[in-house]
Structure 1
Amino acid sequence: MNNRKQIIIAISGAFLMGAIIGWAITEKKSDPREELEHEHVAESSVFTCSMHPQIRQDEPGKCPICGMDLVPVSSANKNADLDSPYLLQMSSEAVALANISTTTVSEGEGGFSTDLNGKVEADERRISSVSANFSGRVDELFVAFTGQEVKKGERLARIYSPALITANQELIEAKKSKDISPKLYEAAKQKLRHWQLTDSQIEQMEMQGDYRTHFDIFASSSGVVSNRNIAVGDYVEKGQVLFEIIDLSKVWIMLDAYENNIGSIEKGDLIDFKVNALPNQDFKAKVSFIDPVLGADSRSVKVRAEVNNSDGLLKPEMLVTATVSSSNSENGSQPEVMIPSSAILWTGERSVVYRQVGSSEKPAFEMVVVTLGPASGNMQSIKSGLEIGDKIVTNGVFAVDGAAQLSGKYSMMSHPESQPFKVDDRFLVKLDGALDAYLALKNQLVSDQSAQQQAKVLVEEIKEIEGKELSQEATVKWKGLKNAIVQSALKISSGLDIEEERNQFVILSNKFIELVEAFGTHKEVVYKSHCPMAKNDQGAFWLSEFAEIKNPYFGSSMLGCGEVKKAYRKNQE
């Protein structure tokens, strides 16, 4: 019995030892691809905000600071081919999570179409006024309301005029002695012609043999009465406008073309338009006139077309939606490079797109600065930067740009720019005093305190810098920035409340950033920071002496909102 137990124990021990050895061997021979996959998934499962990179979460969601969609953190590619700051490597999982899609750059059709809005207006050349050619009292009206249609020569009103009665009497008396004094007779008729009476009216006055007490006013053109300025019993003076008549057999289509559309519209271009009142009917016209003056408030010009309206369907003030088609091509016989407008990131003077340069297994995107041509609906022509056949990001562009920022690559807001002016250290040392005053002003706003006194110091510091050592071109730039900085600082020092001071600080900061980017700095480092929620969510920049975010636009209410966008260093070119 004991032997049997010993045998069972030995066998069980052998099985147990075999299991342990098998586990150890299996652990040592685990698939390295599984480890890499696990590591990669862990890395891709971190999500952050493009504007607030300090936010890190393990799952997609919204940024708790600004509410933007969180994007996956991409791993940096270690290949030497992608070391360029213009290139960004993303994992295929990150591309899928960000819903990034690409489109192949296509060739345009050599023409452009522009969608414009406007309204129907009366042809100004077909508006006529009926005025009183003599004074008198309105005794009868034959047009009782506006909107009434009249024909040319139709009677509109009857007026009692003592002056005309007298002239009528003179004509009758002159007719009796016309054989003796024909000149007097002609003078009496000419006097009536000066009052716009026709020859037939004058003949009737002569044939009556007695003077008339009332005289009629007739329509000078056919159309619709748009204004009736008199009523029965009114006394009218010579030259007074009695009626306005509009001929609506032809009307104008007046469209608003904004600055970015003006270059693609020419006289003679075809217009297809609809009016809201007649949604099932299409109209066509051609551009007949383009206003030579840009509206200062609307930043647009009026584009006009003339339309036949003999059926009266189009009425003034009807709203119009139109498409202006042009066959004009700026490149002549060269093919037009066309891309969807959704692919473009506009940053003021610069426009950026992302071109795919990697494969589907290893996606990579290159930031490309492009020069824009005229727009055509939802498509945009490109003058330079892309070629037909390139693949560009059309959906998820902001996600790619945000990933580029987080990876330290060039992006929409951090593109390299060369310093335009080279100046010696003497000028930069002088700028240090003004920059120190600016930073002191900024710190007051960070502390939720008024910056009026610091603004006064800034004005004195900036005024003392003459810039005599600068070149002629640099002097022009310096004087423009100097005047703008002084004006903005004076407004801050004038006794505004702190919110208005912060509004002016936006302008002041932009000018100081422009100053540093133009001339450089003598300080070891100055940081350019950005808050996307400042200025009513429009975003605003500021300069700081430290990398830690201390927001001057919100102060203690949102002190950490923002991100460092750039660092300016001493002797940096």
Structure 2
Amino acid sequence: MKFMRIRKQLIFIVLGAFVAGGIIGWALSSNEPEAGESIEHDHSGESVYTCSMHPQIKQEEPGSCPICGMDLVPLSNLSDNNNTNPYVMTMTPEAVALANIATSAVKAGGTAGNGLSLSGAIEADERNVKAVSANFDGRVDDLFVAFTGQEVKQGQRLARIYSPALIAAHRELVEAKKSKEISPRLYEAAKQKLKQWQLTDAQITKMEKEENYQPHFDIYATTSGVVTERKVASGDYVSRGQVLFEITNLNKVWVMLDAYEHNVSQIDTGDEIRFTVNALPSEEFTAKVTFIDPVISQDSRSAKVRAEVRNAAGKLKPGMFVTATVEVDQGEATGVLVPKSSILWTGKRSVVYRQVGSDEKPAFEMVQVELGPAVGDRQQIMTGLSLGDRIVTNGVFAVDGAAQLSGKYSMMAHPEKQHFQVSDRFGSVLEEIIVAYLNVKNQLVNDESGQPAAGDLHRFLTLGMEDGLKEDASEQWEESRKALEKTALAMNQTADLEKQRALMVILSNEMITLLDAFGTQGIGLYKDYCPMAKNDQGAYWLSEFKEIKNPYFGSDMLSCGEIKGEYQQQNTHQQNGRNSGHQH
């Protein structure tokens, strides 16, 4: 009986397991899709992350930009599809916080003060650099200057040279002296020959008294100072005129400062400067401005300002960095003042980003401004801003990068200028200029010198063809032509490929300005951009190919870059009127 009872319990357990399995199977099968039914996945949580400074960097997870190290932000946070104004960039509060964007109100101009801050470096006075040369052929048997940087006094012995030519001249002098009474002219000629080799009267007198021909002759310092270059070693053979040493007197040095273009007019010769050097931060020096470079650098848009300072104690050494304040009369500031960090400079254009949104929906408008003089760490704005405006003072590059990503106007992707009406002759030469520029670009793409093509470009730019242009078009053409001509000439005069590529940045910016004004004369072009060019500052160039071919890196990074704009294939000869873009 007991066995039958256990057997019935087992049967009930097995039946219960089958029933439970059936229920679970039905529940699972009811949730499976039927044949042909698609399965929907929720992608709402997925994002693409990018760098606001280097928009070509994209990845599917957060991280840091491999180029600049900035935190990546979601691309969706930077997109701005709702605002149709190409000057206004709308961002989310999260994107503003991630990019560490801060704003501040512009201040009234008031009195500009009397201090203009400049930076630069200590340099040797070029007038106090003396070369000690070999005045005769020979062999360096002894050096008495062991290392560069050694201090020497005027008249100090620097080297001893064995010279067969001088031995022969010594012999001639001794023999001529013996017949001095009979042939005084021969004696004087022998002495004059030695004087032409820069031997002193004392050396010549000593040679006259020595019957044994001395095999060695000494080289002496012609000035006191520091040996800044030693160009020979013991045992070297030297020829007449060869430089053996360079000696620099550092009792007086130059303070070379960089003054930006808009500040140069405020500085005059004779102005006093006060400066410090990093090596002696607690000590202040004074000097007077003695020279202002008449030429503005095309790369930095600045001019060199030189001051002279006495350095008897030798505290100031060439190469030291300098922070200086120039005492100038800046008068009354008629505009408003903003921090220098808020301004983006791009050639002739300067822009700031003005806050036009709210905290819940931040928005920033790109505004082109006219600069006045600098006032310490602030900059006068003559036009473009008003009191009460708030502008971006920190994170301005992040806003500009977000604008580029969203297809808005930005520092470099600015609205095209009007196309001027031009003649067929003007258009034909302009086509030649474009082709010559493209030849320069293609040479650099192929890692070849752009010198010949730059020469052709320079030649086309010197052709007189402004006849028939209206006054404003003629002014625009002449301004662009001069800048292009100067850059093309500089490129044609250097064989250094890296210098040519640096000049290519300037050449491309000026070509873009020219084509924005006059069109491409039927030639279709792409405006390409590489964020890593010019030491990661970024640079544009024009190309006839849709495929990226980078002239700034050539074969090393041929495909680095992206298309930022396009010039359509349309002929602009004899246009009626102009197409004007949005102006601020």
Over 3 Å counting, the alpha-carbon distance change for 1:374 and 1:490 in structure 2 is closer
**Code of the aligned partner of 2:413:** S
Deviation of 1:445 after TM superposition, in Å, equals 3.7
Q: How does 1:176-325 map to 2 (within 5 A)?
A: 258-259=259-260, 260-261=262-263, 293-294=292-293, 299-301=303-305
- The alpha-carbon distance between structure 1 residues 374 and 315, as it changes in their structure 2 partners (threshold 3 A), is farther
Change (3 A) 1:96 1:13: same
Distance 1:391 1:469, change over 3 A: closer
Q: Counterpart of 1:403?
A: 402
User: In 2, distance between residues paired with 1:257 and 1:406?
Assistant: 34
408-417 or 370-379: which moved more?
370-379
Segment of structure 1 superposing worse, 427-436 or 500-509: 500-509
Q: 1:330 pairs with 324, 329, 332, which one?
A: 332
Q: Is 1:261–1:375's contact at 8 Å kept on the other side of the alignment? A: yes
Is 1:413–1:565's contact at 8 Å kept on the other side of the alignment?
no
Describe the superposition over 1:442-481 as per-residue Cα deviations: whole angstroms up to 9, x where unpaired.
Answer: 3344344566776677678778885655446655765776
Preserved contact between residue 431 and residue 465 of structure 1 (Cα < 8 Å): no
Q: Which residue of 1 aligns with 2:359?
A: 360
- For 1:516, what is the secondary structure of its paired residue? helix
The residue matched to 1:338 in structure 2 has which SS?
Answer: strand
Q: Measured at CA, do residues 534 and 276 of structure 1 come closer, stay the same or move farther in structure 2, by a change above 3 Å?
A: closer
Q: What's the secondary structure of 1:400's corresponding residue?
A: helix
Tell me the distance in 1 between the aligned counterparts of 2:506 and 2:282.
50
**Secondary structure of 1:353's partner?**
strand
Is residue 2:61 matched to residue 1:53? no
Task: Give the 3 Å change call, closer, same or farther, for CA 294–271 of structure 1 in structure 2.
Answer: closer
Q: How does 1:374-385 map to 2 (within 5 A)?
A: 374-385=373-384
Aligned to 1:93: 94
Summarize the alignment of residues 86-125 of structure 1 with structure 2, pairs less than 5 Å apart: 86-107=87-108, 110-112=111-113, 113-115=115-117
TM superposition score normalised by structure 1: 0.55
Instruction: Tell me how far apart the structure 1 counterparts of residues 398 and 120 of structure 2 sit (CA, whole Å).
Output: 36
Contact 1:354–1:397, Cα closer than 8 Å, also in 2: yes
Amino acid at match of 2:56: P
Q: What is the aligned partner in structure 2 of residue 432 from structure 1?
A: 431
CA distance in 2: counterparts of 1:497 and 1:363, whole angstroms: 47
Is contact 2:266-2:329 (8 Å) kept? no
Judging changes above 3 Å, is the alpha-carbon distance between structure 1 residues 364 and 63 closer, same or farther for their aligned structure 2 residues? Answer: same
What secondary structure sits across from 1:299 in the alignment? Answer: strand
Unaligned stretches of 5+ residues in structure 1: 22-34, 121-145, 147-226, 229-252, 306-313
1:347–1:413 Cα contact (<8 Å) kept: yes
Q: Is the 8 Å Cα contact of residues 445 and 550 (structure 2) preserved in structure 1?
A: yes
**1:358 Cα offset (Å):** 1.6
TM-fit CA distance, 1:498: 5.8
Q: Is this contact kept in 2: 1:63–1:69, CA < 8 A?
A: no
Determine the structure 2 residue equivalent to 1:173. none
Separation in structure 2 between the aligned mates of residue 525 and residue 71 of structure 1, nearest angstrom? 35
Contact 1:342 1:395 (C-alpha < 8 Å) held by counterparts: yes
Q: Residue deviations 1:187-214, cap 9 Å, x none?
A: xxxxxxxxxxxxxxxxxxxxxxxxxxxx
Q: What RMSD over aligned residues (CA atoms) do the two structures have, in Å? A: 5.3
Whether the 8 Å CA contact 1:358–1:364 is kept in 2: the answer is yes
- Judged with a 3 Å threshold, the aligned counterparts in structure 2 of structure 1 residues 392 and 555 are, in CA distance, closer, same or farther, namely same
Deviation at 1:516, TM superposition (A): 1.7
Counterpart of 2:371 in structure 1 is 372
SS at match of 2:556: helix
The worse-fitting range, judged by mean Cα deviation, of 483-492 and 515-524 is 483-492
Alignment of 1:14-93 (within 5 A): 39=44, 42-43=46-47, 46-48=49-51, 50-53=53-56, 55-63=58-66, 70-73=72-75, 74-79=77-82, 82-93=83-94
Q: How many Å apart are 1:417 and its aligned residue?
A: 4.2
Give, in angstroms, the shift of residue 391 of structure 1. Answer: 2.1
| CA distance 1:261–1:441, shift in 2 (3 Å) | closer
Q: Is the 8 A contact 2:52 2:402 kept in 1?
A: no
Q: CA deviation at 1:76?
A: 3.5
In the alignment, residue 53 of structure 2 is paired with which amino acid?
S
**Structure 1 pair 362–436 and aligned structure 2 pair: CA distance change class (3 A):** same
Q: How does 1:385-534 map to 2 (within 5 A)?
A: 385-419=384-418, 421-424=420-423, 427-448=426-447, 466=465, 468-471=467-470, 474=473, 478=477, 496=495, 502=501, 505-506=504-505, 508-523=507-522, 525-534=524-533
8 Å Cα contact 2:339-2:379 kept in structure 1:
yes
Matched to 1:299, the amino acid is A
Per-residue CA deviation, residues 9-53 of structure 1 (Å, 9 max, x unaligned), is 79x969x98xx99xxxxxxxxxxxxx9xx84x644x521463453
Compute the TM-score of the two structures, normalised by the length of structure 2.
0.54
Deviation for aligned residue 1:86:
0.7
Counterpart position of 2:560: 561
Q: Which amino acid aligns with 2:62?
A: E
Give the counterpart letter for 2:116 in structure 1. Answer: T
CA distance in 2, matches of 1:63, 1:476: 44
Deviations 1:270-297 (A, max 9, x none): 99877999977899x9x9x876855659
Rounded to whole Å, the distance in 1 between the matches of 2:452 and 2:396 is 44
2-side partners of 1:68 and 1:446: how far apart?
30
The one-letter code sitting in structure 1 at the alignment partner of 2:303 is R
Distance 1:337 1:430, change over 3 A: closer
Once the two structures are superposed, residues 62-90 of structure 1 have per-residue CA deviations (whole angstroms, 9 ceiling, x without a partner) of 245x77765542344444xx311111111
Aligned mates of 1:495, 1:108 — CA distance in 2: 45
Deviations 1:90-120 (A, max 9, x none): 1122112112122233345634343457999
Q: Is the 8 A contact 1:531 1:561 kept in 2?
A: yes
SS at match of 2:398: helix
8 Å Cα contact 1:434/1:461 also seen in 2: yes
**Range that drifts further, 378-387 or 274-283:** 274-283
- CA separation in 2, counterparts of 1:275 and 1:483? 38
Q: Which amino acid aligns with 1:563?
A: E
Shift of 1:401: 0.5
Contact in 1 for aligned 2:121/2:257 (Cα 8 Å): no
Q: Is the 8 A contact 1:63 1:70 kept in 2?
A: no
Letter in 2 for 1:421: F
The 2-side partners of 1:276 and 1:502 are apart by: 33
Q: Bigger shift: 485-494 or 505-514?
A: 485-494
Once the two structures are superposed, residues 466-500 of structure 1 have per-residue CA deviations (whole angstroms, 9 ceiling, x without a partner) of 56554466557657766876787688789957666
Given residue 93 of structure 2, which amino acid in structure 1 is its aligned partner? S
> Over residues 224-256 of structure 1, what are the superposed CA-to-partner deviations in whole Å (9 max), with x where a residue is unaligned?
xxx99xxxxxxxxxxxxxxxxxxxxxxxx9996
- Amino acid aligned to 1:114: L
Partner-residue secondary structure (3-state), 2:369: strand
Rounded Cα–Cα distance in structure 2 between residues aligned with 1:496 and 1:268? 40
Any stretches of 5+ residues in structure 2 without a counterpart? Answer: 1-7, 32-41, 123-152, 154-222, 225-253, 317-321, 573-578
Instruction: Pick closer, same or farther for the CA change 1:532–1:109 going to 2, 3 Å.
Output: same
Matched residues in 2 for 1:454 and 1:275: separation?
45
Most deviating of 398-407 and 529-538: 529-538
CA separation in 1, counterparts of 2:353 and 2:445?
Answer: 37
Superposed displacement of residue 375, structure 1: 2.4
Deviation at 1:398, TM superposition (A): 0.7
- Specify whether residues 272 and 109 from structure 1 end up closer, same or farther in structure 2 by C-alpha distance, changes over 3 A only: farther
C-alpha displacement of 1:534: 3.7
